[in-house]
Structure formats: structure tokens, C-alpha cells
Structure 1
């Protein structure tokens, strides 16, 4: 599901091949997977480069519904602002710097960050599947939207911002979480120490999923200074199972989409710098 440890193989020119980058990422996703199925005792392992995917019994506290932000004790958050969420597009240039250089250092990656800006505000299509985007949030407290074990890891590595977005297709729901760090090294270290995951952000209060004690699927990966996570499960707090390819495919699709959004951010920054140069 990813290019290994934030490196894009074969990048030698000053004009990055964006299609090749995406193809390499997709090939890695098909080639290198590890699935740890919890709750039923089944274990299937294969060689993994960067992605970690697990099916586990969820713990911690249940996540917030999209309309539950700002309750007692809640961390300061920012919700989607559709009027301000258009990510800039830049035409290709022959002298664009490497986008990974911008995504790896907060001193270069200076564009505004919030859930709506990173994920967009429209429903998304990945392959043949369309997913409904129901909401998202942004908080500077990286411990508030994740399990306690992961919160400790994010805090240790200096996480400065955490964003979530909620997607659904049929009975499957996904919460995507993105933790932002000052440097790529800190994001890589956080991924290496991942324990627990992002808490569920249901499509609505009437459609809970992945409450504590429910079997759901998690993935974790990093690129540049971003650690991106998914939590995928079934509406109604139903347990996911080993053979549920809808859960697996939905989580993988949204992890891929999130990766592409992060790359797009770096591409925009690199191409803007190339124009100025």
C-alpha cells in the first residue's frame, strides 16, 4: 500500500514523473501486505515494506459523531470550511523541485492545513468505487482523536496537528486520520511505534461503527512528515471478519486516496516554487 519509508524509487530527474509515482505506490500496495486478523486467532503474514495492516478488537473510547465536536473537554477543532478548501492546482513545469522535499520539512511545507483542505469536501471515487465523505475535523491536540497508546507515540514524536475524515460505502465505513510532524524522521519514527489507532468518526450518530470491543481493520503508513491511518468497520458495530473483502478494499482505497492527496499537496508546493524560480 505504499512506497517504502517515504522514498520514491527511480526519481532522478528534476521533473518528477507523477504517474510513475502513483503506479509505484499502487504496485507496492498489491505486492506488500501484512494482515493480522485479531479476535479469531487467525494470522496471515507476508513480507511488508512500509504498510502495517491489522484486524483487531478496538479499545479505548468511542469516537465522536461529526456533530459532536466541541463538547465538554473536547480539544479545539476546526471543521470543514467548503469556501476555503479548494486545493490549488498548478500546471506541470520542467524544473519542478522534488515534492518530497516540501512534504518532509515544516519549514518548507507551509500551506494551511485542515481536514477539509487535505481531504477535500466532495465525495471521492477510487477505482470503480465511490465513497461518501460525511465530515472531518482538525485539532492541534494529537492525543484526542486516537487511542491512548497511539496518543503517547504521537506526543513523543512531536505531532503538531491531527486531522480526521469520515467516508462510507454501503455498510462499510472508514475513518482516515493524518498526524502531522515537523520532520519526516519524526513521522517515520511514529509509524514504527504505532500502537492502537485513530478513533472512529461515524457517518452519523445513527450509524455507529468500531465502538470499543468491535473487530475492525486498521492500517498505518507514513510519507514525508505525515503519518496516515485508517480505521475500517461495519455500520452497527458489527465485527469485521477474515473474509470480508469489502472492509479490506474500502480501507485500502481510502489509504491510497489519502496518500495521493498528500502527494498532491507536495506537488502543488513544488510546482509553485518552480514557477517562482
Structure 2
């Protein structure tokens, strides 16, 4: 290998050749430029990638926001808070009040006192314009003691609890009505169906004995837990003939009066129960 002028460098050899400083300087400058170019290009590339990523993030975020915003319900579609409405009085259906007939159908509901003053008030009965004067009244729990013939077993076999009697007179005719009290409607109806003559007549208070051992008119009826029975005849104790109309009409009128008194009792209790319920 040639090293320029002179021999090889070493002991006894010539001096080493002088370096070409100008060439070395040019080479170093080229190396520096190449490094700057590489560095600058890398920086620019990194900046470009960062810009692309930033743009992608912004675009993607905006897209997600728009998409999510389209899926959110508008304020009008947002569910309102559920509120349970307060009960109104009209929404509550109270039990219907008992009718008068329901009250007197059973002794557990029919609780008003039972006596002659309540069933037969005043001193007379007026039915369809016809007036009857009230005589004696009486009440007993020994139902059989005031019944004759077929009426006796009708009362006693159906657990009659009480019989309240009253006598009314008009124009030579006397009528005794007996209201028999049972536990329930079924018992009263059975007694009515099995009944026949006679409730025992009730004299007194100016009315003599009548309808004893002689022909008289009789009726049998029932409403609710009550049976009501009449016997009608002449005040002088004479026999009532088959073609009679006076005793028959009087007996029916007094029976109607007994019916109206029982219903008055029922209506009064129903009204009182309705008032208590409303309060």
C-alpha cells in the first residue's frame, strides 16, 4: 500500500504524510447535513402522524357525540316521575246500606226493642180512611199460650220468641192482631204456611169477650222474621156468617195496619244505620 511520499512510518522511517484537512472538513459537513435531514424528516413525520391522530380523535369523538346525542330522548320524551295519585272519596266504594227488608229478615240485624208501644202506638189505627179504636194490648214470650188449633204448633215448632197483641174495634166489630217474632225469615214463613185458626182474642179496655167458641174470620201473613195473625168477630159475641163482609174487611184492615207498623220499624232502623254510616 502506498502512503504518499517517503517510506512507511516507523523507527528509522520517514515522517507520516500530512492529512488533507479540507477533504476531512467537507466530509464532516456532509455528515452533519445528513443527520439534520434525518432528524428534521423524522420530526416532520412525527408531527404529521400526531396531526392525523389528533384529527382522527376529534372526528371520532365528534361522531360518537352526534351518535349518542341522536340516541338520547328529547326532553319531551324523557319519562316523567311516577306519582301515585291520592285516593279520592269517589274511588272508594263503601258497602251499600242494608234495605229495610234485609234488616228485619234476621234477628242479628233487627235490634230495635219489641213491645206493644212500639208496634201499636197511639189510640187508633186509620187504614184507607177507616178508623179503628185501639183497646187492650199485651205481650208474651209464651207463644203457645195465645194460639189455638193449627196456629199453636205453627208457632211453637218454629221457635217463636214473642207475640205482641192488640185489639181494635169499629162499628160493632172487634179484631185482635198478634205479631209473632221469630229468629229469621225462614222460620216466620214456615209458621205462616202452617198456620190456621186462631190467635186468641184479647178483650179488655171496654171490649168484652169475643170470638170464643164461635165462628170468626182469621188471616195469616208474614214479612221478614215476623208473622202476623188476626181474628175478627162481632163485639156481642155472635157468630160471623159466611156471607159476612164487615168482619172480613175489618180483619184485613187491621192486618194491613200491622204490616205497615212492621215496615215502619224496618225503615226506621235502615235510616238510622245509613245515617251512622254516612257520619
* Pairing 1:169–2:155 present: no
The Cα offsets for residues 46-99 of structure 1, whole Å up to 9 and x where unpaired, read as: xxxxxxxxxxxxxxxxxxxxxxxxxxxxxxxxxxxxxxxxxxxxxxxxx75310
* TM-score w.r.t. length of structure 1: 0.63
1:223 Cα deviation from its structure 2 partner: 0.2
Counterpart mapping for 1:131-170 below 5 A: 131-170=132-171
- Any idea what SS the aligned residue of 1:237 has? coil
Q: Post-superposition shift, 1:152?
A: 2.1
* 1:129 pairs with 2:130: yes
- Asked if the contact 2:135/2:207 (under 8 Å) is kept, the reply is no
Moved more, 264-273 or 239-248: 239-248
Query: C-alpha separation between the residues in 2 aligned to 1:271 and 1:120?
Result: 20
SS of corresponding position for 1:144:
helix
What is the aligned residue count?
182
As a proportion of its length, which structure holds more strand? 1
Taking structure 2 as the reference length, what is the TM-score of the superposition? 0.62
In 2: Cα distance, 1:141 partner to 1:148 partner: 16
The answer as to 2:108 corresponding to 1:107 is: yes
Moved over 3 A (4+): 203-206
Q: Quick check: 2:136–2:205 contact (8 Å CA) kept in 1?
A: no
Q: Which residue of 2 aligns with 1:89?
A: none
In structure 1, stretches of 5+ residues that fail to align are: 1-94
More helix by share: 2
- Residue 180 of structure 2 contacts residue 228 of structure 2 at CA under 8 Å; is this kept in 1? yes
Structure with the greater relative contact order (CA < 8 A, sep ≥ 6): 1 or 2?
1
For residues 206 and 232 of structure 1, the distance between their equivalents in structure 2, rounded to whole angstroms, comes to: 13
8 A Cα contact 1:150 1:197, kept in partner: yes
After TM superposition, give the deviation of residue 195 of structure 1 in Å: 2.9
1:253 and 1:149 mapped to 2: Cα distance? 23
Q: Report the 3-state secondary structure (helix = DSSP H, G, I; strand = E; otherwise coil) of the residue aligned with 2:143.
A: coil
Q: Indicate how the Cα distance of structure 1 residues 97 and 223 shifts in structure 2: closer, same or farther if over 3 A, else same.
A: same
Aligned equivalents of 2:152 and 2:205: distance in 1?
24
| Deviations, residues 190-234 of structure 1 (Å, cap 9, x unaligned) | 11111322001124476221011x110000000000000010000
CA distance in 1, matches of 2:147, 2:179: 11
**Displacement of 1:116:** 2.0
Unaligned runs of 5+ in 2: 1-95
- Give the aligned partner of residue 194 of structure 2: 193
Classify the secondary structure of the residue corresponding to 1:271: helix
